[in-house]
Structure 1
Amino acid sequence: MKIGIISQWFSPEPAPIPSSLAEYLVQSKHDVKVLSGFPNYPVGRVYPGFRQSWVGLDEFAGSRVRRVPQYVSHDNNGFRRMLSFISFAFTSLLHAHWLRDRDVVYVYGTPMTVCVSALYLRWVHRVPFVLHVQDLWPESVVDSGMIRPAWLRHTASIVLDLALRCVYRNAAHIVAIAPSMAVTLRSRGASPDAVSVVYNWAMDRAPSIHAAALDFRNRVSSDDRWLLLYAGNVGVMQDIETIVEAAHLLGPDSGIDFAIVGDGASLAGVKDLAHLRAVPHLTFIDRIPFDKMGPIYAAADFQLVTLLDREVFRGTIPSKVGASLAAGLPIITTVSGDVESMCNSGGFGWVSLPENPESLAATCLAAVRAGRTARDAMSVAASRYYADRLSSEAGFRAIELLLVGSRSGSRDDPAGITH
């Protein structure tokens, strides 16, 4: 098949879902084109070696990549963030004709403004698209603090809801990343038969202690202490401040060390908080490419998975959950809803109250007091859960089958298009 991919984020950015899918599809003998932006996430600066222009062409793992310019921003300013989303939606729309020869297009739905190009291809060139929803809009916008005035949040919520209902009706198929998200999408106009759940996958990594893992462990902790890791985007919604406050409450005498690996819009503020609280057993490490994270996961005892307490997050599963389970790394999470249910049913971690440093500190202490044997049993459960439900091979195959199945309603069925 001729398959297109539309994603604002793509390799070399830490965007493992669209990047690894492109690689898999090429290996499966499909012809793949990718429409994306110039890499800048999550630092908010164009990567060295790239320079924005009207069009940039390169190659990734056998797929052809067309990069288009955008306003670059990934800070806490709502106007600039929205300008980044809207600018990519506009420039990618102007380049969308590049994908008009595709049999089907896969759309990586974060931000959801990328759907503009998909609708154009559906309406004008009869190219169907499969939408992989990563964030529920309008909640992700109105709850993020990007829009301040209440009246403007209300207006944006109504407008975005109407626009997205149009997107859902026109998608050949919709992929939700969690069961609760699938229920919500069906309630917002998506056909029940056109929604499937495919958990976000990570590149499979067997946990192995080797020189790199030992080196990292020695940098931030020691063998006689516990190491709790947060690895990922350090943004407003990730609530890293709760981790810092919990570390402060525990103190170094708890025998627990903390490491925060990553970058993002809130990093400076989080570091300021750590300095203010004087937390000597907390170490900050610059962002590490996701394909180099294996030794880091192998060095840690638990991964911390935190988000703000928002209704939208009850129906989402952060990608770091899959990455942790793939490495056999148990988690400690503050995320209610589907993540909490997975954690409890899978037996691979501990659950704390959201946005509650006291609860997180108590949960961390309970996890280490349970001992190494209990932790190792959770590691086995994590690997088993990942292999059964979240493996990359299972995710790749599920998406590929949906793309192949969505091809039938494309050019030869213009009557099936819903405006």
Structure 2
Amino acid sequence: MTEQATPNPSFDLLEDLEYRGLIHQTTNREALQEKLGKERVVLYCGFDPTADSLHIGHLLPVLILRHFQKAGHNPIALVGGGTGLIGDPSGRSTERSLNTADTVAEWTGRLKGQLTRFLDFNSEAAGAKLVSNYDWIAPLDIITFLRDIGKHFTVNYMLAKDSVDSRLANGISFTEFSYMILQSYDFYKLLADHGCTLQIGGSDQWGNITAGLDLIGKMGGGNAHGMTFPLVTKSDGKKFGKSESGAVWLDRNKTSVYAFYQFWINTDDNDVIKFLKYFTFLDREQIAELEAELNERPEKRAAQRELAREVTRLVHGQEAVESAEKITQALFSGDVTQLNEAELVEALQDMPTTVVNGEEVPLMDLLITAQAAPSKRQARQDIESGAVYVNGERNTSVDAVITKQQRLHGKYVVLRRGKKNYFLVKFE
């Protein structure tokens, strides 16, 4: 990643983020804009370890931190090792389940590892930092917390914040009620220890961010700023970041590279240009060309392919892009023999999988065992009509027997019924 040694005054970062639709609210926009143009700004965003991996909902704030770094500023990625033990009430209607300290510590370590993929922690000029708020929250004793920090928050002030007000009907514990104070203290500590003068977060974090600014003012910390970005929505009203098999994770062991790539390539026409602005670093000219192509030849899905390539490259690297495209082509053509074992398993991991024993198995029996056909009558009909494929080759013989030599990589047979119904059979 090539960074600016100092901010480039001819480049208006906020204007570029505005073009990309990445600014929802800011405090004192003109002052922040002037500050970003004149000096290197230290900013932070927090990521609570609520799971053992980041998911694509976290991708937007990570990439915004990277936008700032590319413009010559110093991002801090804060992993909430302390606040993760408490639970953020923002955007939730019910209380979070509390995880053990060991679990949160383990997840904190994993999130730290993932964040290093996106930010440059080695740059001398615009180097990023990685911190955990456990380091300053854990040593706090209750009296210090109440006297030195809590005294600056009135209950009325906290009740007026959306993150708290929205929870009053269903109830909110004192534990989650105090989350705002702890996040505010994070901002104060990062300003005091690292000169951090800007906090960014999703639009649901506005109340917590402004609470931090108020605390900084009351504790004499100096001038600081806040900025939020919009929560990602889809035009069809469905929740962003969910696939048919669940959340889309950045950990390839939780969401395969192929499934990750497919999530992006299946983006609706109404969302793809917005997502290109959100999740890629393509410039305006490139995005405009893709938008024109989308309008003129939507069936080509060029914008979706570029989105899938760019985001997969950012998260998993160029080799992952090539592998995902190879798998996509193999499944489209039906020729799975070109895939290596790892690619074959990845391509079909969400397809029905059956484990069988035996040296040779009649194809009719295998179709029923793999639940590719409900009965021998249906299996026979499918074979005779040419709807059955074995390892990509059409088989029209009802007397066919699958031999050991036909197994891919010595243990797999891929059955296909029709154009898209795949079944993986693994021989033991």
Q: Which category of TM-score, normalised to the shorter sequence, fits these structures?
A: 0.3 to 0.5
Larger radius of gyration: 2
Whose relative contact order is higher, 1 or 2, with alpha carbons under 8 Å and at least 6 apart?
1
**TM-score, length of structure 2 as denominator length:** 0.33
